[in-house]
Amino acid sequence: MKLEDINKLIKQGENEKLEFKASFNKEVIKTIVAFANTKGGEILVGVSDKGKIVGVNINNESIQNWINEIKSKTEPVIIPNIELFNLNSKNIILISTNEYPVKPISTQGRFYKRIGNSNHLMSASEVSDYYLEFMQYSWDTHLYKNAIIEDLDKQRIKNFFSRVNQKARVNLFGNDIEKLKKLNLLKENTPTNAAMLLFAKGPLMYDIHIGRLKSTDLIIDDKIIRNTLFEAVEETMRYLISNIKVAYDISGHNVKETTQRTEIFEYPLEAIRELVLNSIIHRKYSTYVDVQIKIFDNKITIFSPGELYGNISIDDLKRNDYQSSARNKLLIEAFYLTGDIERYGTGFQRVRKAIEEYPTMRFYFEEMQGGFLTELTYNTQKTSLKTTINKSSDKSSDKSSDKSSDKILLLLSENPQITIFELSQKLNISTRAIEKNLSNLKATNKIRRIGSKKTGYWEIIN
């Protein structure tokens, strides 16, 4: 790397793959471990966290001592690349490490991962997920404790293979038991976790809590759905369809023409189904936290237990070329073979495509409270096959923006660490509207963000 490249790094500031440290200490080793467990990264030692060059006193022996300390305090051992630069007559050290193929890495018995521009201590379940991913296992491939073949419902299995045969994405021969073994859903005549989730006679305790709400504290109706997964998807969709609005577009301009009434659902059903499937197939099944679906007047939120799996980030999901890691490999394969999902890793792309015909609809997602939240929201309900935006609605929305900003300022003063989702829930407006108001408040120098998105807080300037 050249000196001009170092200057560019300093100017861009700390991020997911870059950190500044004024001196070498144990925090540097934590960051090296976090980078190795995530996507790799670089540390500039001799630069303050504000990007000021402070330099370090260093010699060849010091660098070797650093390498020895890193090796002795990491397991498996990390040997990073270290380079010395002289910038403005001050020594700067660049420490680089790639994502390690053997994971997770620890330092003194603790495991860290990189989120945004900070290091996060991994929980026991996250460490387990990393290990399973490295070993190319997934939770659903494990044998279900004390289960036997007789615990599986024969009719559910027959229905599954009937759908698989119709879709014809794979050729399977033999009886149903032999087919289950070929798909690794049975091992040594014992059902796997995936087999029990899909075909158990008595559904397991992985519920979907779904409800219709007027506000966060006014519940109109709610329901607990407890079923095997294929049935749970269909039951969830029936509840959603029965609780969302439907408009009608009538074509035909005179009595001589045949008029045709076209239903226009409040949300595109293919987008909702994709998000429901995502929440059920990709959830973390090592926890019994419910999938939670809330239907409001102009938005639907879906919370699925378990943060993003593998090294994929929120920014990755915003693109259409992201590469995902599979938390539940057997479940993904089962839903793929029946045609419920298409090629893995394209779900969000299909959601974005589906809402293109809904001019004011927005798609939002974030990690929060040990899980993953998705949201569909809109300003004006689509009531016509034409995709024009209601301009009068936009104007009225602009007029209400000032009132929303005042309420946001009040909430920020009460809780500077409040999240965008929490603001959305308290004010009962979309997360997109919250983001727009926050941007306006920052642009007018009324607030500023201190620290990272995950661990920072809001400061009111005026």
Q: In this predicted model, what pLDDT tens digit does every residue of 260-303 receive, in sequence order?
A: 678 899 999 999 999 999 999 999 998 889 999 999 999 999 99
| pLDDT score for 79 | 86
In angstroms, rounded to a whole number, what is the distance separating the alpha carbons of residues 17 and 154? 51
| pLDDT score for 168 | 87
Residue 23: closest CA among 69, 55, 67, 62: 55
Looking at the DSSP bridge assignments, the partners of residue 374 are 302, 365
In which band, very low, low, confident or very high, does the pLDDT at 441 lie, cut at 50, 70 and 90? Answer: confident
| pLDDT score for 274 | 95
In angstroms, rounded to a whole number, what is the distance separating the alpha carbons of residues 232 and 241? 14
CA dihedral 195, 293, 299, 331 (to 10 degrees): -10
Domain total of the chain: 4
Question: In CATH, what number is assigned to the domain containing residue 428?
Answer: 1.10.10.10
Higher pLDDT among residues 157 and 59, named by residue: 157
Residues 335 and 242 in one domain: yes
Out of 349, 377, 405, a domain closes at 377
| pLDDT score for 231 | 97
Are the C-beta atoms of residues 303 and 114 closer than 8 Å to each other?
no
Higher pLDDT among residues 245 and 103, named by residue: 245
* pLDDT average, residue stretch 300-315: 88
DSSP state, 369?
T
Residues 9 and 71 in one domain: yes
CA atoms within 13 A on the CB side of 448: 5
Residues 370 and 439 in one domain: no
Domain that holds residue 7: 3-120
What does the mean pLDDT of the chain come to?
Answer: 86
Residues 251 and 103 in one domain: no
Longest CA–CA span in the chain (Å) reads: 94
pLDDT at residue 389 greater than cutoff 60: no
Residues 220 and 187 in one domain: no
Residues 301 and 357 in one domain: yes
DSSP state, 371?
E
Residues 192 and 93 in one domain: no
Residue 23 in any domain: the answer is yes
| pLDDT score for 390 | 44
pLDDT at residue 355 greater than cutoff 60: yes
| pLDDT score for 392 | 42
pLDDT digits (tens, 9 = 90+) for 167-186: 888 888 899 999 999 999 99
Looking at the DSSP bridge assignments, the partners of residue 212 are 221, 295
Residues 167 and 275 in one domain: no
